[in-house]
Every structure is written in C-alpha cells, then in structure tokens.
Amino acid sequence: MSTGQASANEYYFRSRGQRWEMIIGDTVDQCVEASLNIRPLENAEFYCVGRYGKERFDAGYMPLEQAEEIIRRCVRLWRAAQHVA
C-alpha cells in the first residue's frame, strides 16, 4: 500500500493477490473508501486496476520499482484525462 499526492489530489495504491489498484481523489480517506466500494468512481475521481504476475500472491510481492512505475503511469493517465474533460 502506498499513498501520496498527484498534483493537488491524493492517491492510494495497493496490490494484493494478483491485482493492483490505484485511486485518485480529494483525500486518502476518500480513496480508501472508494477501494471498498463496488463502484469506486462514486467516491473518487480516478480508478485504475490491473493484474500482476501469474502466481496467487505475486502482486503482494511486487518490487517497489514496478509499483512506482504503475503509479507514475496511472498519474499520467489521470492528467491526460484532465485535459480532455
């Protein structure tokens, strides 16, 4: 799990099992709440999810460099979407 800032917003990244998710919202609490919601975009501005690895718990053991790259990629996608809207 990782939290941080993307421009003036907060992000929440987590990886468990074979899945990772990245959420951007106004606050970390809002992002965590969105991660627990079946419709995360009701609570947050951006949501992205993906699979990682082939084994059952690979995402939980994701190397830090890989997690950082996914976070950077998601922030770029979020910023690109800001210019479209």
pLDDT at 82: 86
Region of 83 on the Ramachandran plot (φ > 0 left; ψ -120 to 50 alpha; else beta): alpha
What residues are paired with 20 via a beta bridge?
15, 50
Give pLDDT tens digits for 8-46: 999 999 999 999 999 999 999 999 999 999 999 999 999
Q: Is 80 exceeded by the pLDDT of residue 84? A: no
Q: Is 90 exceeded by the pLDDT of residue 83? A: no
Supply the pTM of this predicted model.
Answer: 0.90
Q: Is 70 exceeded by the pLDDT of residue 77? A: yes
Q: What are the structural domain ranges in the chain?
A: 2-84
Give pLDDT tens digits for 64-74: 999 999 999 99
Dihedral sign from CA coordinates of 63, 18, 68, 32: negative
